[in-house]
Amino acid sequence: MSLILEHVNYIYGAETPLAIKALDDICLEIPDGQFVGIIGHTGSGKSTLVQHLNGLIKATEGRIYYNGQDIDEKGYDRKALRSNVGLVFQYPEHQLFEIDVFSDVCFGPKNLGLPKEEVERRAKEALAQVGITEEYYTQSPFELSGGQKRRVAIAGVLAMQPKVLILDEPTAGLDPKGRDEILHQIKKLQTETGMTILLVSHSMEDVAEYVDRIIVMNQGRVMFDAVPREVFRHYKELEEVGLAAPQVTYIMHALQEKGMQVDVDVTTIAEAAEEIVRCLETLH
């Protein structure tokens, strides 16, 4: 029960003079229930990669298996795949269109052909999962704040009850509190429902606190694939490819250079504070 990619290549404009290799020999295995951050700069192939996972783009070469089945095989049920692997695009609030919040979230499950009661039950559950309370159900989605709109849009995908949820830059353009709220709710979703989460982002700082694993993409290839602290150890190489480790990593390295015996592998502010205090105490 997982997603497996075997030697996946993807070429935009294949067999034309403008051919560009967007994915280059990607091999990955994503087990159920993992929270994975996919990081890369603009044009690194991260969005192309996730669009393969629910069959929006077909690999030029290589195989993709979902629950052991090849998704490009003839007769494979793509529709079922898309309701199992939910994809939330960048700026998903641009896709809101219904007259009120509740109808918008109902749209997906309604299209699955479910009975009305089931559709409404799912919509309610999905809205609760993203922290949108009943008082908003009858409001126009266009009257909500940026963060609320985005959560309603995510609820629209959750109402399809996917097993795997892919989010492309879910925090872009939100204020800091809005960023924290969304990430927190996604984390909660993962721990409570065991959903697999793939989160595409530019920002290491955002994902460092939440994810189990980081996949760094560069020039269509997987550059690093490990737990956050392991990946941040390569902060100099990350910089070379247009990314950055969280500021904490830089602070800890700067302190170490000044002769403080700190563990440079910490990834969050809380860990860093504990580590520095511990270090100062051993001196006294």
Binding site residues, another protein, CB under 8 A: 41-43, 145-147, 172-178, 202-203, 205, 242-244, 246-248, 250-251, 254-255, 258-260, 269-270, 272-273, 276-277, 280, 283
Q: Please, what is the minimum distance in Å from the beta carbon of residue 281 to another protein?
A: 10
User: Between residues 191 and 247, which has the closer beta carbon with respect to another protein?
Assistant: 247
Q: Please, what is the minimum distance in Å from the beta carbon of residue 237 to another protein?
A: 14
Please state, in angstroms and rounded to a whole number, the distance separating the CA atoms of residues 62 and 69: 14
User: Between residues 107 and 250, which has the closer beta carbon with respect to another protein?
Assistant: 250
User: Between residues 133 and 282, which has the closer beta carbon with respect to another protein?
Assistant: 282
DSSP 19: -
User: Between residues 112 and 255, which has the closer beta carbon with respect to another protein?
Assistant: 255
Q: Please, what is the minimum distance in Å from the beta carbon of residue 280 to another protein?
A: 6
Q: Please, what is the minimum distance in Å from the beta carbon of residue 254 to another protein?
A: 5
* Beta-strand relationship, 221-226 and 69-70: unpaired
> Residue 146's CB: how many other CB atoms inside 10 A?
13
Q: How many helices (H) and strands (E) does the chain have?
A: 11, 10
User: Between residues 86 and 92, which has the closer beta carbon with respect to another protein?
Assistant: 92
Rounded to the nearest 10 degrees, the angle between the axes of helix 146-158 and helix 116-129 is 140
The encoded tokens of residue 50 equal 């996730």
200, 165 Cβ separation under 8 angstroms: no
Q: Please, what is the minimum distance in Å from the beta carbon of residue 245 to another protein?
A: 10
In this structure, which amino acid lies at residue 125?
E
